[in-house]
Structure formats: structure tokens, C-alpha cells
Amino acid sequence: MKYVDEFRDGALAVRIADNIAATINPARDYRLMEFCGGHTHAISRYGLADLLPSCVQLIHGPGCPVCVLPIGRVDQAIRLACEAGVILCTYADTMRVPASDHLTLMRARAQGADVRMIYSTQDALKIAREHPDREVVFLAIGFETTTPATAVAIIEAASYGLKNFSILCNHVLTPAAMHAIVAGGVALDGFIGPAHVSTVIGSQPYEVFADAYAKPVVIAGFEPLDVMQAILMLVRQINEGRAVVENEFTRAVSRAGNLKAQALVAQVFELRDTFDWRGLGVLPHSALKLRAEFSAYDAEVKFAAPYRPVPDHKACECAAILRGEKTPSQCRIFGSVCTPENPVGSCMVSSEGACAAHYSYGRFRGEAT
């Protein structure tokens, strides 16, 4: 497969691995956080930990949209589907996130709620047009990667004059989550920066982490060689005492990002004052809501369905894992009570979640990768 296989070349991987091994200072640790679940998945799927010296530690970050969705947000969607009788459209992973009362959207569907799995916002619009007599709500989740698609759907709905379409907006912002991480207690030497998010927002928003917090950031693609090269670039910066934003993913990311997508998002959305994240807690200016002129498409307004916070399962360590403070295998219900078939916490649901990735690909290792 052209343009993909080149980034999965085993011989090149060995060369980069040798280069990393020759570059590291074995007397110290290199604690690197891969912010994105996409990176977490690639690292686990390709077994990259086996190619790295033990002093290079990869710490999984909170960049998994399903993982950071708090229980109360899933409850809100389930309430709309069950009590307001709407057609609730959602991306697949969200279907299995555990909510209150042992419910998931999947179980709500089995009990009669009209929950539909879709692949794109266009599918949700199509359902709304096909069912003019029903209310259709799209459970919009995701970081900056998926937000432009939701913005386009809102603009299209407005131009069609669709009256029966609205969204439950849970779009969140990467830099805000990174702020919470650097302000928190976890010791970090640098970030492997997001791939797809950065194609939209560019590399500029990460400069503050290098400048103000002295954390090197290397933006990397989601292929295994991208990750290996980014690790090498981070190790070099750390050795040289530098902290700058470097871009390994130049084939897709510029400093300014995708201006057209940014303009669409700005046209439709504005900052929320606060948003409650699983693991990171209530963060100011960390998520988006629809602008007042689009409030007819805001399901929270339309159905008077406010968010009600719900505490996580007592034994679940998702919160600490999302903050980078614990590894999946340090959770005592990991792999016993909590498995991909019966997830207790959100990190066991999505293939990008730290627990699911470790369970599915790496649990033969005693410790988390």
C-alpha cells in the first residue's frame, strides 16, 4: 500500500531504534506522554515498546474522545433516547461506554430506545431528512479532528431549514487538556503531539508548552515509524536541554493548520465556560458549545436536558490513567472485572483507550507498555 507501507518498514524501524539506543543517556529516564489514543493504539499494535530502551517510558495521555466523556454525558444521551423518544445517532465506540444504572447506549437500544450507529455526521442528517416526524439528535464527541464535520452538519441543517435535527455537543479542546496535564502532578519530559488534531489546529497552539513549561513537543503521524522518529527527536531535545515544538508530521501539519476548518468551527461554535472531563475534572474554556444563533440545534437547550455529574465507579482507575498517573495494570480491576467485553471504565471501551490497547495487545507483559 503506497504511502502507508513506507511508514511501517521493519528494517527502518530497527535503524531508528538503534539510533535511539545510541542517543539516550542511560543514567536518566525519558518520560514521554503520547497525548493521542491514536498513538497509544499504534504503540501497542506494533509492539513498539520492544524496540525501545527501558529508560524511555511512554505514558498514555487523555487524547481519546470516548475515554474523557464523563458518565453524566452518556446518561444525558440515554435520557434523551429513552425519555424524550428521539432517534439518537452516535459513533460506534460511544455505544459501549458504561453509564449509570448498568446502562450503555447499546443496552438502551436493546430495551427499545432508538439508538443508531453512524459513520459520519452526513448519516445523521440523512436520517433526519428521512424522518421529518421524529427528532434526531447526534451525540457529537471528539477533539478538534471531528469538530469541523459537526460544524458542517449544523451549517447544512440550517441551510435546509431542518427543524428536527440537533446535537448534544461534547467537542473538547486538546490544548486545554494538555494544560491540565502539565499543571497536574505527573512528571513528564516531553509530549508526542497529536497527529490528526494538529492537521486542523496546526503546531502553533503547542508552543506555549515549550515556551512556558519547558516541555518539548514533537508532532507525529499515527504510523509506527512516525512515533519512533518522534521519540528520537524528543530524546535529542531533552539531551540538549532544548524545549521547542518540532513537527515530524510535515506531510500533513503546518504551523497555522487548516484555516478553512478553523473558520467553520468558529462560525458555529464558541467556548464553554467550563466542561467536566472524565479524569481531568472541570476545566475552564476546555470545550465548545453552539453559538446562540445556532441554539435551535443544541439538544441541551431544545430538550432542556442539562448535564448532571455522576461519580466514576469506585474501583475504576480511568481518571488516574487519563492523567498519566497510573498505568492500566495498576488498576486492580484491569483484566478481571473490567475487560473489553464488560468494560467498567471508558478506557477499556475504545481501541484507542489505554486499557483496551494494553489488554488487547500487551497484557502478556507484566507491566503496562
- Binding residues for another protein, rule: CB under 8 A, are 1, 4, 8-10, 13-14, 17, 44-51, 96, 119, 224, 339-341, 356, 359-364
Measured from the CB atom, is 91 or 138 closer to another protein? 91
Strand 30-36 with 56-63, pairing: parallel
The three cell numbers of residue 61 are 495521555
The three cell numbers of residue 131 are 424522518
Among 67, 44, 33, 34, smallest CA distance to 316 is for: 67
- 44 in Cβ contact with 369 (< 8 Å): yes
Min dist CB 191 to another protein, Å, is: 22
- 321 in Cβ contact with 355 (< 8 Å): yes
- 310 in Cβ contact with 72 (< 8 Å): yes
3-state class percentages of the chain: helix first, strand second, coil last, to nearest 5: 45, 20, 40
Measured from the CB atom, is 131 or 291 closer to another protein? 131
Measured from the CB atom, is 49 or 322 closer to another protein? 49
Min dist CB 233 to another protein, Å, is: 18
How many Cα atoms are found within 13 Å in the side-chain-facing hemisphere of 294? 27
312 vs 277: CA distance, rounded Å: 11
172 vs 270: CA distance, rounded Å: 11
How many Cα atoms are found within 13 Å in the side-chain-facing hemisphere of 231? 35
Min dist CB 148 to another protein, Å, is: 19
Min dist CB 39 to another protein, Å, is: 14
80 vs 89: CA distance, rounded Å: 11
Measured from the CB atom, is 23 or 339 closer to another protein? 339
The three cell numbers of residue 165 are 435535527
Min dist CB 35 to another protein, Å, is: 19
Measured from the CB atom, is 49 or 195 closer to another protein? 49
Measured from the CB atom, is 237 or 346 closer to another protein? 346
The three cell numbers of residue 68 are 474523557
Min dist CB 95 to another protein, Å, is: 9
Among 106, 170, 118, smallest CA distance to 343 is for: 106
Measured from the CB atom, is 299 or 356 closer to another protein? 356
211 vs 219: CA distance, rounded Å: 16
Measured from the CB atom, is 101 or 341 closer to another protein? 341
Number of residues assigned to the chain: 369
Min dist CB 78 to another protein, Å, is: 18
Cβ count within 10 A of residue 89: 25
Min dist CB 125 to another protein, Å, is: 17
Min dist CB 224 to another protein, Å, is: 5
**333 to each of 28, 154, 213, 329, 350, how far by Cα in Å?**
32, 41, 35, 9, 17
Measured from the CB atom, is 226 or 300 closer to another protein? 226
